[in-house]
Amino acid sequence: MKHLTLALLVSLFPAFAFPAPSLDQVRAERNLEKRSDQALAYAEKVLKDARKAYDQGDMETVAARLAEVREAVDLSLQSLEETGKEAHKRPKHFKRAEIKTRQLLKQLDAFDRQMSFADRDLLNPVRTHLREVNSDLLLSIMGTKQ
C-alpha cells in the first residue's frame, strides 16, 4: 500500500511541480535550439487552451490563444534562423520543428472540424501561416547542397 501511494505521488509530481512556461520565459532561453523546441511545445499547450475556451464559449480567449500559437511558431522559426546553421547540412532541429508544425496543423484541422462554420474565420489565418512556416522548414531542409 505504501509503495502504491508513493508511486502515485511520484507519477503526479511532475504535473504539479513546474508550472507551464510563458512565452516570455521561452524567449529568455539562451540556447536557440531549445528555445525553438520550447516555443513549439508552448504553441501546442496554448492550442489546447484555445480548444477548452471554445468549449466554454469564450471566443475572445480563443482568438487570443490562436494569436499566441502564431507568435510561438514565429519565435520557433526565428530562433532556428538565428542559429546560423544551414538546415540541409544540420537538419536535426529543423526537422523536429517541421514535424511539430505538421502536428500542430493536424490539431488545427481537428479543431476546425469541431468548430461551427461561423467561427472558423478565427482559425484560417493561423492555419495558413502554419502551412507557410511548415513549407519553409521543409524546403530549407530539402534545399540544394552547394
The better pLDDT of the pair 146, 76 is held by: 76
Encode pLDDT of 109-120 as tens digits: 999 999 999 899
Whether the per-residue pLDDT at 4 is higher than 60: the answer is no
Radius of gyration for the alpha carbons in the chain, expressed in angstroms and rounded: 18
pTM: 0.82
Rounded Cα gap, residues 66 and 131, in angstroms? 14
The closest of 107, 100, 48, 50 to 73, measured between CA atoms, is: 100
The closest of 106, 105, 83 to 94, measured between CA atoms, is: 83
